[in-house]
Structure 1
Amino acid sequence: MDADVYRVVRGELIADAEVVQMLPRFLRTCQTTDDFWQHIKMEFSTYAERRAHIREVFAPLLEYLERAAAPGAEAITDALRNLQEGEVHRIWAKALARCASDPEGAVTAARTLLESVCMHILDGLAEGGTPLYTPGDDLPKLYRATAEQLNLAPSQHTEDVFKRLLGGCTTVVESIGAIRNRVGDAHGRGRRPVKIAPRHAHLAVNLAGAVALFLAETAEAKAPKQ
């Protein structure tokens, strides 16, 4: 490995606020190729073990970079960044990164993303007044409260096509909450745990991202102009 290439690439990765959280620990601590060589020799005795380890620890980052390049991901990333809430953006990055390597964790992150976006929007709409939700509210309740505040509830519209479209959004949100309860990593397991494939995680994360984007853009459009 070329020492100069390692130094430059490492610096670029560490400088990226989104990427740095997904970097393996050794890349953050090993400043030179010599540092890395000393580290990897201490951890693993064979080249096969070292290659396997490197593939494993870089898998979340590679998955994130691949998913971030997918159609729609960039728009969602930009919209969530515009919320000016770093935690929301971090959760979205985590959801993307986990789809292939940790599908169940990705489903959990998808639900957390929607919960966080809803709470962020409701906090902004409350403007220091009476809170629009309680800490114990689940995802469907948070979404209904957010939709009503943004005039996105199906009952607030008379045109059938919009009622069905907005009703579909509600169904998506409720389904993401349900699948997370069923197969996510936030609960205990029985003897026959339900397995989720990466394709299911991609679906859940992409749907959650689309709804989050819709909510964020609607909130921005309805915000008072400065």
Structure 2
Amino acid sequence: MSDAFFDAPEIPDDLFECAIHLRNNIIGLTTDGGSDVEYKLARSKLMGDPASKRLLPDFVRFSNDAASVRAALSGVASGAGSWALRRNHVNETFKPILIFLEAGGSAADATITDGITVYDAPAVQTFWAKALERRATDPEGAVTAASTLLEEVCKHIIEDSGGEWSDKWNIPKLYAEASKLLNLAPSQHQEEVFKTILGNCQSVVQSIGSLRNKGGDAHAGGRLRVPFKPRHAALTVNLAGSMALFLIETWQAKGK
């Protein structure tokens, strides 16, 4: 067996830890530190997992070695004081995969995370991350985050369309306004099948808002408080994420 085998650095088996290792190594590469061998090994491990591969930053997916990474990051910033900008860029672009892996995400989580990340709205990304992080350990917090995620998406779409929303509007009202702007309101369609599907989407959003009021951690529930289980939170988060992605993708398609 070759000496190279024994000299090869150890890369974490856990994908989340591997992603952190890769991120930190890349930050080192931006200052002429880091390791080309470790970069290749960690990158190869994550590229071998389909869900992780799609969430890796583009500059990682298309850079086979340390030299390619340095070249890609030099395009982000160069010159005096540029190290901090490159480091921030690395940290920001690694957030989607770290959020996904830390939450023990599924392929569906990866698809939603990918779509939400593309939408330039930090608040939306924050609440999706909170929903994923909390669904197994803090069901009530996850339901609240899922509900707030939908609120944020609707508010952003209304604002991006040149409209305004009121602080008094609840989730059903926000969704009703956003859906009209996206031509997703049941009343805007004639085909019965589309009216039914879009009406069910409306019901899902309304129900998620009601769940938050019943058992989320946004309000005190008193004796009538509903104790959520992780499976309830998982269902709510998955539905909210799917609806958020549907709204975002419809908005993006509308702008093309």
Query: What's the TM-score once normalised by structure 1's chain length?
Result: 0.70
- What are the Cα deviations for residues 73-124 of structure 1, in whole angstroms up to 9, with x where unaligned? 1221121112111221121111011011000000000000000001111111
Q: 1:100 to 1:156 in 2, by over 3 A?
A: same
Unaligned 5+ runs, structure 2:
1-9, 25-90
Aligned residue pairs total 176
- What are the Cα deviations for residues 135-155 of structure 1, in whole angstroms up to 9, with x where unaligned? 221111000000001100001
Match status 1:197 vs 2:229: yes
Alignment match, 1:97: 133
Q: 1:184 to 1:171 in 2, by over 3 A?
A: same
- Say if 2:213 and 2:221, in contact at 8 Å, map to a contact too: no
Match status 1:82 vs 2:114: no
- Say if 2:127 and 2:145, in contact at 8 Å, map to a contact too: yes
Shift in Å, 1:11: 4.8
DSSP-derived class of the 1:100 partner: coil
CA distance in 2, matches of 1:176, 1:183: 11
Shift in Å, 1:168: 0.4
Alignment match, 1:72: 108
Match status 1:214 vs 2:234: no
Shift in Å, 1:189: 3.3
Shift in Å, 1:222: 0.5
The one-letter code matched in structure 2 to 1:76 is: I
CA distance in 1, matches of 2:122, 2:223: 38
RMSD of the TM alignment (CA)?
Answer: 2.5
Match status 1:184 vs 2:184: no
Shift in Å, 1:10: 5.2
Alignment match, 1:169: 201
Shift in Å, 1:61: 7.0
Q: 1:146 to 1:9 in 2, by over 3 A?
A: closer
Match status 1:141 vs 2:173: yes
Q: 1:195 to 1:72 in 2, by over 3 A?
A: same
Shift in Å, 1:191: 3.9
- Say if 2:96 and 2:113, in contact at 8 Å, map to a contact too: no
Alignment match, 1:32: none
Shift in Å, 1:176: 0.1
DSSP-derived class of the 2:234 partner: helix
The one-letter code matched in structure 2 to 1:118 is: C
DSSP-derived class of the 1:84 partner: coil
Match status 1:17 vs 2:95: yes
CA distance in 1, matches of 2:107, 2:206: 24
Query: What's the TM-score once normalised by structure 2's chain length?
Result: 0.62
CA distance in 2, matches of 1:76, 1:177: 20
CA distance in 2, matches of 1:136, 1:218: 25
Alignment match, 2:152: 116
